Amino acid sequence: MKAAPEAQKRLLDLAELDSTADRLAHRRRTLPELAEIAEQSKQYAKLATEAIEAETEAGDLAREQTKAEGDVDTVRTRADRDQKRLDSGAVTSPKDLASLQSEITSLHRRQGDLEEIVLEIMERKEAADAKVTDLTAKRDEIAAVRAVSEERRDAALTEIDKDSAEVVEKRVQIAGDIPADLLALYDKLRDQYGVGAAMLRGGRCQGCKVALSIAEMNSIKAAPHDEVVRCEECRRILVRTAESGL
């Protein structure tokens, strides 16, 4: 392939720009904020699940408490009713009186037991409510921390986008100075090796850093200036400049 030496030299500008594009792409993929946000999201999800579990537990206990309080009321109502019957004097048979008195005593004992249960449920519910408050606060705290990380990530991405747009614009300009067939070869090599062209500097390929043999140097020296030469080692386009050592 043949191309004017000036067009070949433009490949070095293109290669530099493409390596800037690669650096920007790498930076975009490896922003520390991305790992931070992933970790914060994991923590958030864990706390959110635990908060829901605690809320469910508190809700269950609230229903349990209502039911237990209802049980206390039922027993109390029965005891009150029996007490009224006793106080009314309507029951006169000693046997019936003894039986009524015994039932009242038993109902009072039962009421005491049920009130113990209510207290125990209330204590458990208080603990569950405290857990809800604690987990919700921790969850919201992580959400706020994550929002800050997201802001930092977005600011970094905006900067990378701006730099990338500049690279794209410059690349169009530089590509305009390079013949289509040479550009196509460069792009193909870039796809294959990451870098499509390298300078020959001081007898060394700057792509693979390998020093050329005397025979290779002689062959390049003998090649016409518009001949597109390739590195034998890495196959990249080797661009000759005043620094090539030829």
The tokens for 211 are 């020093």
The tokens for 36 are 């931070």
Distance of alpha carbon 203 from alpha carbon 240, whole angstroms: 10
Determine which residue in the list 234, 241, 245, 246 makes contact with Zn ion, applying CB under 5 A.
234
Q: Specify the residue, 52 or 208, whose C-beta has the smaller distance to Zn ion.
A: 208
231 binds Zn ion (CB under 5 A): yes
DSSP assignment letter at 234: T
Q: How far is the CB of 19 from Zn ion (least distance, A)?
A: 15
Widest Cα–Cα separation across the chain? 137
**Vertex 77 angle, CA 71 and 81, to 5°:** 150
Three-class SS state of 221: helix
Q: Specify the residue, 196 or 207, whose C-beta has the smaller distance to Zn ion.
A: 207
12 binds Zn ion (CB under 5 A): no
Q: How far is the CB of 219 from Zn ion (least distance, A)?
A: 15
Residues 6+ apart with CB under 8 A from 31: 153, 156, 157
Classify 211 in phi/psi space as left (phi over 0), alpha (psi -120 to 50) or beta: beta
Q: How far is the CB of 175 from Zn ion (least distance, A)?
A: 23
Q: Specify the residue, 140 or 233, whose C-beta has the smaller distance to Zn ion.
A: 233
Tell me the window of 58-66, 129-137, 162-170, 197-205 that interacts with Zn ion (CB under 5 A). Answer: 197-205
The binding track of 201-220 with respect to Zn ion, each residue x by CB under 5 A or -, is ----x-xx------------
Residues that bind Zn ion (rule: CB under 5 A) add up to a total of: 6
Q: Specify the residue, 53 or 233, whose C-beta has the smaller distance to Zn ion.
A: 233
Q: By the 8 A CB rule, do 196 and 237 touch?
A: yes
Q: Specify the residue, 40 or 207, whose C-beta has the smaller distance to Zn ion.
A: 207
Determine which residue in the list 175, 230, 233, 246 makes contact with Zn ion, applying CB under 5 A.
233
CA nearest 15: which of 243, 209, 197, 181? 197
Give residue 189's identity as a one-letter amino acid code.
L
183 binds Zn ion (CB under 5 A): no
**119-158 binders of Zn ion (CB under 5 A):** none
Q: Specify the residue, 132 or 231, whose C-beta has the smaller distance to Zn ion.
A: 231
Three-class SS state of 194: coil
Residues that bind Zn ion (CB under 5 A): 205, 207-208, 231, 233-234
